[in-house]
């Protein structure tokens, strides 16, 4: 059985479910998390269904240090390979795990001439100031070629996920799981989550409610990270998508339970487990 997760650090928690699933699943099991937060906003994923001309994106990919598969429909391929583990062969996408976190928090930029979207991620935004000042031409190039877009709306995100999930099911037959996010800010002094009403908190709650409804409509489980992280307490969290070790264990257990309850895994005492990053 192959489990394919696409997203940032929050999605990587599913790898921890390996030991639990290996005790329940009959046959080989591979759990892999791929991509990063700057690659997994829903409009970027939808864009890969009709990717821009590679002759146009080649220079952009080089300038921004984008991965070789940034504009490729990796999510919609029937199977996947484990990076740097060629000997493991290809794995079917029996389960696909997605997250709403990039839609909640990421900002993307549109190419002024060709219209395609990019998230520059950690490029100069997270670079050492000395490096940035030494390469101002790159900053000027980006400003000349790209314009910032507004944060994605809840409605647009939901519409994108509807299309994504439909295409994943049609092309891979995978069982889809979507992760939500913590709706409050770690370290907040607010004792009553209901009345925590900063714009970012309200936005995250709106996303959570919208995807709870979408999950019922399209019949996919939403892994309720918001409930699980609050259950253990959030004081040790760095932000709303980076979890503590106890939180990761609980999320992994919940994920394994979701797959078991759905009948995706079968009980067995003999199996082989392969885990990736």
Asked whether the CA dihedral 5, 11, 14, 16 is positive or negative, the reply is: positive
Residues forming beta bridges with residue 234, ordered by sequence position: none
> Would you state the pLDDT for residue 207?
95
For residue 54, the domain's CATH number is 3.40.50.1110
Q: What pLDDT, on a 0 to 100 scale, did the predictor assign at position 38? A: 82
pLDDT-flagged residues of the chain (< 50): 189-195, 267-277
pLDDT tens digits, residue range 170-209? 999 999 999 998 776 665 544 444 445 567 888 989 999 9
Is 145 in a helix, a strand, or coil? helix
pTM: 0.85
Measure the CA–CA gap between 118 and 106, rounded to whole angstroms: 11
So what's the pLDDT on residue 58? 93
pLDDT at 235: 60
Q: Is 244 helix (H, G, I), strand (E, B) or coil?
A: coil
Structural domain tally of the chain? Answer: 1
Q: Domain range spanning residue 157?
A: 2-275
- pLDDT tens column, 86-116: 677 889 999 999 999 999 989 999 999 999 9
pLDDT of residue 195: 43
The size of the chain, in residues, is 277
């Amino acid at each position: 059985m192959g489990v394919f997760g696409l997203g940032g650090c929050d999605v990587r928690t599913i790898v921890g479910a390996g030991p639990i699933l290996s005790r329940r699943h009959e046959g080989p099991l591979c759990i892999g998390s791929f991509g990063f937060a700057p690659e997994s906003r829903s409009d970027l994923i939808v864009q890969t269904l009709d990717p821009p001309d590679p002759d146009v994106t080649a220079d952009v990919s080089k300038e921004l240090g984008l991965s070789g598969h940034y504009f490729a429909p990796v999510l919609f391929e029937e199977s996947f390979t484990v990076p740097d583990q060629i000997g493991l062969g290809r794995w079917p996408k029996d389960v696909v795990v997605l997250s709403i976190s990039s839609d909640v928090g990421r900002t993307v930029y549109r190419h002024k001439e060709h219209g395609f979207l990019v998230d520059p991620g950690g490029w100069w935004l997270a670079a050492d100031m000395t490096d940035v000042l030494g390469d101002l031409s790159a900053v000027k190039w980006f400003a000349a070629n790209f314009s910032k877009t507004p944060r994605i709306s809840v409605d647009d995100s939901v519409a994108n996920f509807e299309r994504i999930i439909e295409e994943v099911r049609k092309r891979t037959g995978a069982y889809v799981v979507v992760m939500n996010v913590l709706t409050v800010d770690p370290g907040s002094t607010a004792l009553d989550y209901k009345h925590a009403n900063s714009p970012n908190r309200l936005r995250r709650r709106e996303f959570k409610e919208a995807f709870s409804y979408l999950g019922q409509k399209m019949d996919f489980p939403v892994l309720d990270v918001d409930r699980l992280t609050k259950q253990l307490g959030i004081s040790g969290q760095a932000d709303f998508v980076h979890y503590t070790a106890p939180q990761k264990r609980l999320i992994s257990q919940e994920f394994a339970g979701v797959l078991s309850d759905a009948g995706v895994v079968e009980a067995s005492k003999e199996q082989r487990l392969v885990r990736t990053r």
